[in-house]
Amino acid sequence: MRDEDYMGLALREAERARDEDEVPVGAVVVLDQTVLGRGHNQREALRDPTAHAEMIALSAAAEAVGTWRLDGATIYVTLEPCPMCAGALVNARIARLVYGAADPKAGACGTLYDIPRDGRLNHRLSVVGGIRGEECGLLLTSYFRKKRSPGSL
């Protein structure tokens, strides 16, 4: 499969989040063409500020391989990770991040910060942005447009 195909899996996770009335962000962790972990935002359902799609997918992947070290893995995320999630990617030793839409308000993978490529940290990962970015962004903007429309509360 290609990056675009794996991003399609992440988009399905984002749609699950939307259907659960969570901010529609999805993530999948892949190693050797095998999906190790999937996740979508669950902050509201779990009442957990750390329940971002990336964190859930990383935890599932670590469980699948039996270690927190995810050497060689790629994570596909529909939205550029925030500082917390970018730090988790570094700590998990992810090799590669592929994201869809840039996040001008909290993006920590090249937009506001560049945590994955910061040479001061003990691990760096490659970053590719904009894969199916328009589609990923549209999912988010349509969700927030609907949430902010009159009568949606």
Clarify whether 4 is annotated catalytic. Answer: no
Question: Which is catalytic among the residues 20, 22, 44, 54?
Answer: 54
Q: Do the strands 96-101 and 26-31 form a parallel or antiparallel pair, or are they unpaired? A: unpaired
Q: Give the 3-state secondary structure of the chain.
A: CCHHHHHHHHHHHHHHHHHCCCCCCEEEEEECCEEEEEEECCHHHHCCCCCCHHHHHHHHHHHHHCCCCCCCCEEEEEECCCHHHHHHHHHCCCCEEEEEECCCCCCCECCCCEHHHCCCCCCCCEEECCCCHHHHHHHHHHHHHHHHCCCCC
Residue 126 β-bridge partners? 96
Catalytic residues: 54
